[in-house]
Chain A
Amino acid sequence: MKNKLSWFAVPYVVWMALMVVIPILIMVVYAFTTAEFEGTVENFSEMGAYASVFLRSFRLAIIATLVCLLIGYPVAYWMAHEGPGFQRVAMALIMLPMWMNFLLRTYSWMSILENNGLLNQFFRSVRLVDVYNQIALHFAADPALYKPTDYIPMIGTSGAVVLGMVYNYLPFMILPIYSVILKLDHSLLEAARDLGADSAGVFRKVILPLSLPGVLSGVTMVFVPSVSTFAISRLLGGGTQMMLGDLIEQQFLGGAYDPHLGAAISMVMMVIVVLCMVVMNHFGEGEEQAVML
């Protein structure tokens, strides 16, 4: 399809140029230069040192996306099948946390997950900590050396980081899936039944494939911010779970000041993310493309 540019598109084009294209160009320039702005590829060859951060970022982001999908799809499906009154309430509940500041939300999770936090106080009161000690002792490499704790370690683990990401990004999974399922033509479901499909068959052969575009855009909208997340990993990961976002932040604002390396890392991350999206969209080929960004 050919798209002719009309004059109405001009403000949009200018905006995109200023806010998207030029920044990306600047990033590319930085990535391929030294502090004295001489051309180099050293920024990339140095990056091997951070392979573990790359791996962790993608691993945690994939886990968070899968968890979001596993929770989000059933929730979206169930919401779409309830009455409009219920849907309004559910929608409000899903959006509500998003009206709160992101850092505030994450700090709240810190105080919940801390060794002396709300959850651990609860666990202690119901003696879950003892159970935990039993299990930990059982699996400990050297039981003799195992020291019982009076808390279940949560903060500072990769689990806490995944939890933080799931909590923050779950709405972005639920909403697109919900709206696709809601718009499904009811007569298609009746047609499937008419042709002999039972409930499971209708779901597998009609609802699931037709809601794939929603799943695709949900996955994109959760995965992209998850890979590049920072702050969540720092606050809930307790410094042990550095992710790409933190690494990049350090190069620009933190102690390891090196914007050129930061730009190079950003670029590599972008390329990998775009590749992931291309591969994924290929699965849904023909259907409406997942909305990117």
Chain B
Amino acid sequence: MSKELIRLADCVMAFDDEIVLDKINLSIQDKEFLTLLGPSGCGKTTTLRIIGGFQTPTSGDVLFDGVRINSVPPHKRTINTVFQKYALFPHLNVYENIAFGLRIPKADASGKKVRLPEEEIDRRVMEMLEVVNLRGFEKRRTTQLSGGQQQRVAIARALVNRPKVLLLDEPLGALDLKLRKDMQNELKRIQKAMEITFVYVTHDQEEALAMSDTVVVMDGGKIQQIGSPEDIYNEPKNAFVADFIGESNIIDGIMRADGVVEIFNRRFQCLDGGFARDEEVDVVIRPEDVDIVPEDQGQLKGTVTSVTFKGMQYDIIVDFYGFKWLIQTTDLSPVGSRIGIKIDPDGIHVMKKSEYSGMFGDYSSYSEEYEEISDASYALDEEESGDEE
């Protein structure tokens, strides 16, 4: 039942010879919640602006419902935007901000410009105020609203026009954590209720995983991976994605056979295959997929070099043959203790080598950051401060 609504085909965006988007290919399905995720400056806003019509790609096509819309201006697209800084009109109150789009005469079927009757405008604005929980705020000036309220006005102002697509550029960036979570649920609810395609921009991976049907991971103007949140998390395509989505240990490995990968000269069972024999690969091991066992039962043995209490679990850094791993565990292993680890086959993800290999997934610097803290809190339990050299 899903049908393609928007397609970016080989979209390149260059500003003064600096290539900001490099051959982006993206298909957005009708009624889906798609998130563009990536670090600052990777081209998320630029991609959104191309879809919204504020920027024309240097080359490539933008298709909407199969029709090329490269040069259709924003006001002629059935797409609305929630801007990164809301961009509410300071000279209008909440009601008039939301009514802005409705008050603009639209061409009807015969091409004649018609205005919505005032009662219709009023009904729809009030309905939207209900949706975003802002009843009673109609007469307020937008400058007198809190960040979260402004945010909701911006959403209402866009949604009241019943767009086919809503573009949201880091809409929750300015909110505190609690409000962020509430608004995430709120947005998800609105998207389901109104059956509108959302294209959402964020650099917060947790937010992306929690809200999206499809996540598009971007870096350096290129799409690194497109997939469902589960795919992206469980089957990262390269070291960048693995590192950006959640915490991961990324280790050099060699594929000895289908389902057998060698790390630190030890062979591990895994579920991946299809690599050349003895191909060098990147191996991703999520911190929560590692089981701590007594040293003599471990597949690998190492020394705990730092412990950080995180509420739900401990983050411990373990030194294996000079390479430091992050492991999340609910059992406390004190600094300096020797432990063994076991990894189930489904906890090991093998990736092809990429330009990102060797850049991520080492926690050496991380452990140093926390060493002092962990020394202070756990030195008591230790016979001697067993820190490594």
Q: Could you list which residues of chain A lie within 8 angstroms of chain B, going by C-beta atoms?
A: 185, 187-188, 190-198, 201, 205-206, 209-210, 286-287
- CB-CB under 8 A for A185 and B87, given A190-B54, A194-B74, A195-B80: yes
Contacts of B85 in A (CB 8 A): 187
Q: In this complex, what residue of B is CB-closest to A190?
A: B54
Contacts of A190 in B (CB 8 A): 54, 74, 81, 83, 87
A-B contact list, 15 entries, CB within 8 Å:
A187-B87, A188-B87, A190-B81, A190-B83, A191-B88, A191-B89, A192-B100, A194-B52, A194-B81, A195-B75, A195-B100, A195-B157, A197-B100, A286-B141, A287-B91
- B90 contacts A194, C-beta separation under 8 Å: no
Task: List which B132-159 residues lie within 8 A (CB) of chain A.
Answer: 141, 157-158
- A209 contacts B73, C-beta separation under 8 Å: no
Q: In this complex, what residue of A is CB-closest to B101?
A: A195
Q: How many whole Å from A189's CB to the nearest CB in chain B?
A: 9
**Which of the listed residues A190, A195, A209 has the most CB atoms from chain B within 10 Å of its own CB?**
A195
The residue that B104 contacts in the complex, of A185, A188, A201, A286, with Cβ under 8 A, is: A201
Convert B28-64 into 0s and 1s, putting 1 for each residue whose CB lies closer than 8 angstroms to a CB of A: 0000000000000000000000001010000000000
Q: In this complex, what residue of B is CB-closest to A202?
A: B75
Q: How many whole Å from B64's CB to the nearest CB in chain A?
A: 15
**A190-B83, A196-B75, A197-B104 are known contacts; what are 12 more A-B pairs with Cβ within 8 Å?**
A190-B87, A191-B81, A194-B52, A194-B75, A195-B101, A195-B104, A196-B106, A197-B75, A197-B100, A198-B75, A209-B91, A286-B141
Q: In this complex, what residue of B is CB-closest to A189?
A: B87
B333 within 8 A of A: no
B161 within 8 A of A: yes
The residue that B101 contacts in the complex, of A188, A196, A210, with Cβ under 8 A, is: A196
- A191 contacts B91, C-beta separation under 8 Å: no
The residue that A191 contacts in the complex, of B79, B83, B141, with Cβ under 8 A, is: B83
Contacts of B81 in A (CB 8 A): 190-191, 194
Q: How many whole Å from A48's CB to the nearest CB in chain B?
A: 44
Convert B72-106 into 0s and 1s, putting 1 for each residue whose CB lies closer than 8 angstroms to a CB of A: 01110001110111011111000000001100101
Dominant SS at the B interface? loop
Q: How many whole Å from A281's CB to the nearest CB in chain B?
A: 16
How distant is the Cα of A180 from the Cα of B52 in the complex, in angstroms? 27
Q: How many whole Å from A203's CB to the nearest CB in chain B?
A: 13
- B161 contacts A196, C-beta separation under 8 Å: yes
Q: In this complex, what residue of B is CB-closest to A210?
A: B91
Contacts of B104 in A (CB 8 A): 195-197, 201
Q: In this complex, what residue of A is CB-closest to B52?
A: A194
Q: How many whole Å from A96's CB to the nearest CB in chain B?
A: 33
Q: How many whole Å from B135's CB to the nearest CB in chain A?
A: 22
- A210 contacts B74, C-beta separation under 8 Å: no
Q: How many whole Å from A1's CB to the nearest CB in chain B?
A: 15
- B83 contacts A193, C-beta separation under 8 Å: no
- A193 contacts B80, C-beta separation under 8 Å: no
- CB-CB under 8 A for A205 and B54, given A191-B87, A197-B75, A287-B91: no
Q: In this complex, what residue of B is CB-closest to A206?
A: B89
How distant is the Cα of A196 from the Cα of B52 in the complex, in angstroms? 12
Contacts of A198 in B (CB 8 A): 75
How distant is the Cα of A4 from the Cα of B75 in the complex, in angstroms? 49
How distant is the Cα of A98 from the Cα of B115 in the complex, in angstroms? 49
How distant is the Cα of A198 from the Cα of B54 in the complex, in angstroms? 13
**Which of the listed residues A196, A210, A287 has the most CB atoms from chain B within 10 Å of its own CB?**
A196
- CB-CB under 8 A for A193 and B91, given A201-B104, A205-B100: no
Contacts of A209 in B (CB 8 A): 91
The residue that B75 contacts in the complex, of A188, A193, A286, A287, with Cβ under 8 A, is: A193
Q: In this complex, what residue of A is CB-closest to B154?
A: A191
- CB-CB under 8 A for A210 and B90, given A191-B83, A195-B80: yes
The residue that B74 contacts in the complex, of A185, A193, A286, with Cβ under 8 A, is: A193
Q: How many whole Å from B79's CB to the nearest CB in chain A?
A: 8
How distant is the Cα of A193 from the Cα of B101 in the complex, in angstroms? 9
Contacts of B79 in A (CB 8 A): 194
How distant is the Cα of A209 from the Cα of B91 in the complex, in angstroms? 7
Contacts of B54 in A (CB 8 A): 190, 193-194
Task: Return the 6 tightest CB-CB contacts between A and B, nearest first.
Answer: A195-B101, A187-B87, A191-B87, A196-B104, A193-B74, A194-B81
How distant is the Cα of A185 from the Cα of B52 in the complex, in angstroms? 18
Q: How many whole Å from A39's CB to the nearest CB in chain B?
A: 49
Q: How many whole Å from A135's CB to the nearest CB in chain B?
A: 43
How distant is the Cα of A142 from the Cα of B74 in the complex, in angstroms? 62
**Which of the listed residues B89, B101, B158, B161 has the most CB atoms from chain A within 10 Å of its own CB?**
B89
The residue that B89 contacts in the complex, of A188, A201, A287, with Cβ under 8 A, is: A188
Contacts of B87 in A (CB 8 A): 185, 187-188, 190-191
Contacts of A287 in B (CB 8 A): 91
Q: How many whole Å from A127's CB to the nearest CB in chain B?
A: 49
Task: List which B276-321 residues lie within 8 A (CB) of chain A.
Answer: none
How distant is the Cα of A194 from the Cα of B100 in the complex, in angstroms? 11
How distant is the Cα of A201 from the Cα of B81 in the complex, in angstroms? 18
- A187 contacts B83, C-beta separation under 8 Å: yes
Q: How many whole Å from B128's CB to the nearest CB in chain A?
A: 13
How distant is the Cα of A209 from the Cα of B97 in the complex, in angstroms? 14
How distant is the Cα of A88 from the Cα of B79 in the complex, in angstroms? 38
Contacts of B101 in A (CB 8 A): 195-196
How distant is the Cα of A201 from the Cα of B115 in the complex, in angstroms? 14
How distant is the Cα of A40 from the Cα of B106 in the complex, in angstroms? 67
Contacts of B84 in A (CB 8 A): 187
Q: How many whole Å from B283's CB to the nearest CB in chain A?
A: 44
Q: In this complex, what residue of A is CB-closest to B78?
A: A196
Convert B96-123 into 0s and 1s, putting 1 for each residue whose CB lies closer than 8 angstroms to a CB of A: 0000110010100000000000000000
